[in-house]
Structure 1
Amino acid sequence: MKQRFVLFTAFLFLLSSILIACEGTKKEDKNTDKAESEYGIESLRIATGGTGGTYYPIGGNLAKLITDSTGVETNAITSEASVENLKLLEEGDAQLAFTQSDIANFAIEGTHMFEGDKVTKLQALGTLYPEAIQIVTTKEAEIHSVADLKGKIVSIGSEQSGTKTNAEQILEVYGMSIDDVNTRHLSFDDSTTALQDGTIDAAFLTSGTPTGAIEGLKATKDIVIINLEDDKLEQLINKYPYYQKDTIPAGTYDSVENVHTAAVQAMLVVHSDISEALVYEVTKLLFESTDKLGHPKGTFITADKALDGTAFDIHPGAMRYFKEKGISTE
């Protein structure tokens, strides 16, 4: 009798587990069907950057917001950032992507690293926040200006990143090229690890501040972020107007004083084939949930400034949102 009772109890447990699993599958299928019928797509991929930058944490939180709100399963993927992201978008391997505004313009025009490889499926969702060019070194390296980088071992960012182009252009206004430094093509995390180990002398990192990789380095090393002199900033902006002056405020990194540098705009772009309805929802989520993006740069993300520096077509879904908010799209 006791054995029958145990078997009956086990049967009930198994049956309830199957029913719960079936219910979960039905719910998942229902969400998938809803996403497919309303938005014409079941899943999205957001191309971000390395885990030590700013794109990745913001992209991860945005992906969760999109999944929870629309039912479209959304994932943030790591990458080498701007250049690779736009190539992923063009190839259909990502539907949303973070990028520097200057790199997006190169992609649309088919210039610089996109020479003969123009990106045609790219539309803007909006600009987000300034990305400071941070030239990071350690106190023991005794590097005090860009001019001191000559002959040093310097990471200029991954091969497929906008940071590399920023480094080349800043060195240019100082009368140098990347041939004047011993270059390494490292991600943000790898750059700061190499600085910690002493295997490089300095690194260029273009990112929203505070940057996680630099915060990690600061915990173990006394760091220096190099100032750009005002006359060099003027030369840079005159030659490449997509740059702007920027100041990294004292205290952004513990014990580091104000740093005067250049910045480009971070922006979110979208594949032109994504439906107007879905891009509208993503745009609304982004600009009305900045407190849920999990990064201090969220305070810079506002719809009022989202079209500043956008020099190419805005996706119709984003356009609809801005018009509803009374924001000029001219």
Structure 2
Amino acid sequence: MKLHHALISTAVGLAVSQLSLAQTQITYKSAKTSSSYYQMAVEISQAVKEDTNSNLIITVEESQGSVQNVMESAVRGANYVFTTPPALVALAQSGKAMFKNRANPKFNDIRALFPIPSLAMHFVVSNKSGINSFAQMEGKKILLGKGSFGAREGAKYITLFGLENKIDLAQVELSNAVPALKNGQIDGFVTAGSFPAPNVIEAAAGTGVKVLSLSDEQIVQSKRTKLVIPAGTYAGQNSDITTTSLPVIAYSSTAMDDATAYTLTKAYWSQKQRMSDTSPWWGGVSTDMLSNINGKIHPGAAKYYKEMGITLSAVHQ
């Protein structure tokens, strides 16, 4: 009888051990819980769990920003995934700007997995404002907001395009942009977000608006990545919008084993269409956005891309 119980205990122990080995836990460091990027992380977590039959479990962690995400990559475990613009990874690896006195050799171990929706600049103006180009914003009341990437980028463009001190900058919070536009308090507002952006959807649905396009020359001036928002994305939008964007990429490091990186990347792309059906911002993501990655791609992820017939550039190797 004792032998029988011992055999049962051993069998149960082996089964539990095999289950724990089969299930891989991943930490996904995202953004503030109030942001769309945190919601994206939750959607990725659910999609990966479903695609892998719970063999990959992602725990989403709140973050205070992309710099924190990169800094933690030097001290976190093998299955740490984080999101950040590629430019920040390059700065960390070269020890420049905000990483000047915080250099760490482990930053060189950062490897890309897949792109997620970019931060797209939206210059939204009401139809009744009569604004059809950046030059026509002169003398108009425009809301930039405060502290956000969109506010900083918008202010930069105003200077670049010769409109500094020529625009009446509204002292209103960005959260009040849509009602302020509807009641005529402002002529337009600037916002950055993955498209379709909720506040732009609301503005377009409630009143006639136009999202301004940038010329090729202006995009070059901005030193940002060109992005096209397809016609029909917003109500009343009959043509493509050409704007700029800040690419955002999901990264891990060489500490993550190839099999995990492969399975995670495969699950992400396999579920992307299903995620697009419920959250339209995934519709703007494609493998073409791999070109936004200006560093190495994880070998496990690269294996998946090669299987899909995608040619990676030399910089990704």
TM norm structure 1: 0.67
* In structure 1, C-alpha distance between the alignment counterparts of 2:81 and 2:139, rounded to whole Å: 38
Instruction: Write the mapping of 1:251-262 to structure 2, written as runs, cut at 5 A.
Output: 251-258=232-239, 260-262=241-243
Instruction: Write the mapping of 1:142-221 to structure 2, written as runs, cut at 5 A.
Output: 143-147=131-135, 148=137, 152-155=141-144, 158-159=147-148, 161=149, 163-164=150-151, 166-176=153-163, 182=169, 191-192=177-178, 195=181, 202-221=188-207
* In structure 2, C-alpha distance between the alignment counterparts of 1:186 and 1:87, rounded to whole Å: 26
Which residue does 1:87 correspond to in 2? 68
Which residue does 1:96 correspond to in 2? 81
- How many correspondences in the alignment? 287
Which residue does 1:291 correspond to in 2? 273
Matched residue SS, 1:298: helix
1:60-101 Cα deviation digits (max 9, x unpaired): 221102233244442445667xxx134234225894344444
Percent identical among aligned pairs is 18
* In structure 2, C-alpha distance between the alignment counterparts of 1:264 and 1:79, rounded to whole Å: 21
Instruction: Write the mapping of 1:12-161 to structure 2, written as runs, cut at 5 A.
Output: 34=19, 37=21, 42-48=25-31, 53=36, 55-68=37-50, 69=52, 70-76=54-60, 84-91=65-72, 95-102=80-87, 104-111=89-96, 116=101, 120=107, 122-128=110-116, 131-139=119-127, 143-147=131-135, 148=137, 152-155=141-144, 158-159=147-148, 161=149
* In structure 1, C-alpha distance between the alignment counterparts of 2:168 and 2:59, rounded to whole Å: 38
1:105-158 Cα deviation digits (max 9, x unpaired): 455545566565568264311335665321123345554433426674522564
Matched residue SS, 2:27: strand
1:180-233 Cα deviation digits (max 9, x unpaired): 76477967x5654665576765332233322223213333333232232x3xx3
For structure 2, the residue ranges without an aligned partner over 5 or more in a row are 1-11
Question: Could you say if the C-alpha distance between residues 256 and 86 of structure 1 is closer, same or farther in structure 2, counting changes exceeding 3 Å?
Answer: same
Question: Could you say if the C-alpha distance between residues 216 and 113 of structure 1 is closer, same or farther in structure 2, counting changes exceeding 3 Å?
Answer: farther
1:246-294 Cα deviation digits (max 9, x unpaired): 4433321111332543233633222324443322211001112222213
Query: 2:142, 2:170 within 8 Å by CA — same for their partners in 1?
Result: yes
Which amino acid is the alignment partner of residue 124 of structure 1?
Answer: A
* In structure 2, C-alpha distance between the alignment counterparts of 1:109 and 1:199, rounded to whole Å: 45
Matched residue SS, 1:308: helix
**What RMSD, in angstroms, separates the aligned Cα atoms of the two structures?**
4.1
Which residue does 1:325 correspond to in 2? 308
TM norm structure 2: 0.69
Q: CA deviation at 1:47?
A: 0.7
Query: 1:151, 1:181 within 8 Å by CA — same for their partners in 2?
Result: yes
Matched residue SS, 2:300: helix
Query: 2:83, 2:249 within 8 Å by CA — same for their partners in 1?
Result: yes
Query: 1:133, 1:261 within 8 Å by CA — same for their partners in 2?
Result: no
- Is 1:282 the equivalent of 2:267? no
Query: 1:52, 1:212 within 8 Å by CA — same for their partners in 2?
Result: no
* In structure 1, C-alpha distance between the alignment counterparts of 2:128 and 2:142, rounded to whole Å: 14
Matched residue SS, 2:58: strand
* In structure 1, C-alpha distance between the alignment counterparts of 2:100 and 2:172, rounded to whole Å: 21
Which residue does 2:249 correspond to in 1? 268
* In structure 1, C-alpha distance between the alignment counterparts of 2:233 and 2:93, rounded to whole Å: 34
Question: Could you say if the C-alpha distance between residues 114 and 213 of structure 1 is closer, same or farther in structure 2, counting changes exceeding 3 Å?
Answer: farther
- Is 1:243 the equivalent of 2:225? yes
* In structure 2, C-alpha distance between the alignment counterparts of 1:116 and 1:178, rounded to whole Å: 36
Which amino acid is the alignment partner of residue 126 of structure 1?
Answer: F
Which amino acid is the alignment partner of residue 144 of structure 2?
Answer: S
Which amino acid is the alignment partner of residue 258 of structure 1?
Answer: S
* In structure 2, C-alpha distance between the alignment counterparts of 1:59 and 1:45, rounded to whole Å: 7
Q: Which moved more, 1:59-68 or 1:193-202?
A: 193-202
Which amino acid is the alignment partner of residue 208 of structure 1?
Answer: S
* In structure 1, C-alpha distance between the alignment counterparts of 2:228 and 2:120, rounded to whole Å: 8
Which amino acid is the alignment partner of residue 96 of structure 1?
Answer: V
Question: Could you say if the C-alpha distance between residues 179 and 314 of structure 1 is closer, same or farther in structure 2, counting changes exceeding 3 Å?
Answer: farther
Query: 1:47, 1:76 within 8 Å by CA — same for their partners in 2?
Result: yes
Matched residue SS, 2:206: coil
Matched residue SS, 1:328: coil
